Amino acid sequence: MRSFVIGANDSGQRLDKFIAKAVPKLPKSLMHKYIRKKRIKLNSKRCEANAMLEAGDVIELYISDEFFSANKSREEFELSGQNCDIDVIYEDENIALIYKKAEIACHSGNKKESDTLVNRFVAYLTEKGDYDPFTENSFRPALCNRLDKNTCGIVIGAKNAAALREINAMIRDDKVCKEYLCICVGNLPKSHDIIKAFLRKDSSANKVYITDRKVGDAKNIVTEYTVLDQKDDLRLVSVRLHTGRTHQIRAHMAYIGAPVLGDVKYGDIAANKRHKTPYQSLCAYKISFDFEKESALSYLNNMYFEIDNIWFLNRYFK
């Protein structure tokens, strides 16, 4: 028999979700069978798969030791030698705002890529003693938003499960305002506009396609932009997303005839070579929050976090 005592980071989730993370070798079908057969109990009583866990609960698993072999936490959270160098803009007990450079991926695109921003974040918190991977049953510090590998900017890191749930919910409800700066090539139709279209994702090609009308499973997109400055064929543009879709800014700006400088997927290859840009000139440079008053993170309201040293501004708009 093995048991888990539910801590603060384990609470607030369903029993089956917790077991899937804490005992990954146990097949889901077998897990549900063991719950029905009372070989998995909650506080020494029969339980249901959808039971919501609270801090202090005890889960007892009367199952074979083979499902606990090769402890997942020690495999997954092995951080020996992991680079923990991150640029922290702001940090408190719940979150960290991290400046992601253009050459690092937020998450691994393949199993061989280990030097990612999320792994650096976990290693950073482990080194400073804010996170102990060997005492956690199911939680790992996580990033709440993603940026493309060659896009720089602010990424939100959650240091505990409650903050992760709260921020993810606020992002879904558009309560986290993210603003972007980019350099576009060519003229834009207007100096300011809110443009709408539909975006269809092709996962196999890792590319999206923009259309004026809904086609198949295409999703609506809304992008607001303002031209701030211009220099020759380049335009410095502020962008706010009213919807957050894959590659939305890059694809939408290209669709209206003003691709992001340095974008090799949707951009102007000739212009990229002419301006000798090393990365796509796109940065998530500002973020602010609008949490409900009763939220544990409401202290972040009315605070604005901004990056003022952006590489492409220094390069093209000195």
pLDDT in tens, 63-100: 998 888 554 444 455 566 678 899 999 999 999 999 99
Query: Between helices 15-22 and 28-36, what is the axis angle to 10°?
Result: 130
Same fold: 75-173 with 179-284: yes
Question: Which tokens belong to 305?
Answer: 């976090």
Q: How far apart are CA 144 and CA 153, in angstroms?
A: 13
Domain limits of the chain? 2-70, 75-173, 179-284
Q: How far apart are CA 247 and CA 298, in angstroms?
A: 30
Which amino acid appears at position 287 of this protein?
I
Q: DSSP secondary-structure letter at 190? A: S
- So what CATH class is 2-70? alpha beta
What local confidence, expressed as pLDDT, does residue 74 receive? Answer: 47
**Of 250, 217, 62, nearest in space to 147 by CA:** 250
Q: How far apart are CA 274 and CA 249, in angstroms?
A: 22
3-state secondary structure of 312: helix
Which amino acid appears at position 61 of this protein?
L
Q: How far apart are CA 302 and CA 290, in angstroms?
A: 8
The strand ranges marked E within 186-303 are 192-202, 207-211, 219-231, 234-241, 282-289
What is the β-pairing status of strands 152-158 and 142-143? antiparallel
The strand ranges marked E within 204-265 are 207-211, 219-231, 234-241
What is the CATH architecture assignment of 179-284?
2-Layer Sandwich (3.30)
CATH code, residues 75-173: 3.30.2350.10
pLDDT of residue 39 exceeding 80, the answer is yes
pLDDT tens-digit readout, 253-298: 999 999 999 999 999 999 999 999 999 999 999 999 999 889 999 9
Tell me the pTM: 0.85
Where is 74: in which H helix or E strand? helix 72-76
Backbone angles phi, psi at 67, to 5 degrees: -75, -10
